[in-house]
Structure 1
Amino acid sequence: MQHHEIVDTLSRVSTATITTVLLKKGLRNSWIRGSAPLRVGQPRIVGPAFTLRFVPMREDLASPASWSSPTSTRAAVEAMPEGAVVVTDAVGAKDAGIFGDLLCARMKKRGVAGLVTDGVVRDAVGIRATGLDVWAAGIAAPPAVASLSFVGWQETIGCGGVAIVPGDFVVADDDGAVIIPAALLDEVVAIAPEQEREEAWIFDEIKKGIALPGLYPMNEETRKRYQTGDQEAR
């Protein structure tokens, strides 16, 4: 399946559905803890993970001078490809913003799909003005060097208790951000839309007053009724 087809399919599937599909595949740990939409009404985003990693601050590594280092967030931003979802391991730190409005504006200009982190951001008003969709654990005024040291990009990281490998797919919506391992991507893309259709049908049945036993999950009789209605709709 082409990249644009994958993005198009997953953009119509909720993170709640994806976590259930992954659970059935044996993956229980796919949802990034502590990362929520920065603003109400952000659209669902989908894209391959571009990873960044911070470690706890060490004075000789974290200073304003580090902003001009070859290993800097500034250099990392210039390596971000269009359509990527930037996933940043900030070790859950909530007392320093990993990105502000200037870097987010540049990310938006480069066509980055969005930013997901277990840390926080700064310059909240300015970030919202850039139009970059952000999932974070909150907002803080101090810069990242106040408590974090940036050490690299495009390596395996841990973010919100989840392991992320560059190229894994990320889906983020109002329920947070979910990671789909690259090796399972084709299966999830094939299965998830059908589960979404099933649950939409079940929801309609609930609104009609149908009781849950035998409906959710479907028993054999209910599934036949669903399949008959699905075929008629097609």
Structure 2
Amino acid sequence: MATSNDYSGVDLTIAPEARAVLEKVTTATLTTILLKKGLRNVWLRGTRPLRAGQPRLVGRAFTLRFVPAREDLATPESWSSPISTRAAIEAMPEGCIAVVDAMGVADAGIFGDILCARMAKRGVAGLVTDGVVRDLAGVLGSGLPVWCSGAAAPPSVAGLTFVAWQQPIACGGVAVFPGDVIVVDDDGAVLIPANLLDEVLVAAPEQERLEAWIMGEVEQGASLPGLYPPNADNKARYEASKKNTR
């Protein structure tokens, strides 16, 4: 069985300047930026906000992995094992986003109210999973922002076996490595590969400015052809508008 130490040295902090930039950028904009860099598969399927109006969050991924349930391993007794969701939560640093590979299983809740309350107490920024939670009212009451595919009453061991944390996982069909950057908002969760963070930080504010300018043109009655995306003439107009606002 895999251990929990493969990525124990990965830095899960984000510079305040980087966080400030990404907190102003929508996940929709991020997918456009990453598409331009050749990455098409960065939106984690099945990760919907559990509560309307949750804030946009930015954090490094702390990964957890489940595999299909096996009767000799997926038992209530396993919750006391050194390799358990309980132990993983105690290893989560403040500010991280827990990203959980639940294989899209929708009839076994990976975390309930007590585990979510403990994560909130430890300062974990949020929980993202392609699975479901249980004890819905309690999870909502814990104050932990959650993105998932829904809720179910049975516990995780009814359909899943927990095997590891801080290893590469597949969540919502996306490869997630410990330390990758996760941004979540009303449109779900988007992954920024850790090695592309600096490039995204440069491109994201410019993309937001461009789209805001295009929206302004649309509100004034401009037609879309040649505007979105902008042709050479409109690019020149946009660049001129930036100079006029400096």
- TM-score normalized with structure 1 length: 0.98
Residue 161 of structure 2 corresponds to residue 149 of structure 1:
yes
Report the equivalent of 1:105. 117
Report the equivalent of 2:141. 129
Matches within 5 A, 1:72-221: 72-221=84-233
| 1:42-97, Cα deviation, whole Å (9 max, x unpaired) | 01000000000000100111111001000000000000001101000001100010
Distance, in Å, in 2 between the alignment partners of 1:15 and 1:86 is 18
Following TM superposition, by how much is the alpha carbon of 1:220 offset from its aligned partner in structure 2, in angstroms? 1.3
Following TM superposition, by how much is the alpha carbon of 1:232 offset from its aligned partner in structure 2, in angstroms? 1.3
Report the equivalent of 2:43. 31
Q: Please, which runs of 5 or more residues in structure 2 have no aligned partner? A: 1-13
* Secondary structure of 1:231's aligned partner: helix
Q: CA RMSD in A?
A: 0.8
* Secondary structure of 1:140's aligned partner: coil
Report the equivalent of 1:5. 17
* Secondary structure of 2:45's aligned partner: coil
* Secondary structure of 1:132's aligned partner: coil
Report the equivalent of 2:30. 18
* Secondary structure of 1:186's aligned partner: helix
1:50 to 46, 57, 62: 62
| 1:8-38, Cα deviation, whole Å (9 max, x unpaired) | 1101001111111111111110000111000
Partner AA of 1:131 in structure 2: G
Q: Please, which runs of 5 or more residues in structure 1 have no aligned partner? A: none
Distance, in Å, in 1 between the alignment partners of 2:229 and 2:79 is 53
Following TM superposition, by how much is the alpha carbon of 1:219 offset from its aligned partner in structure 2, in angstroms? 1.1
- TM-score normalized with structure 2 length: 0.93
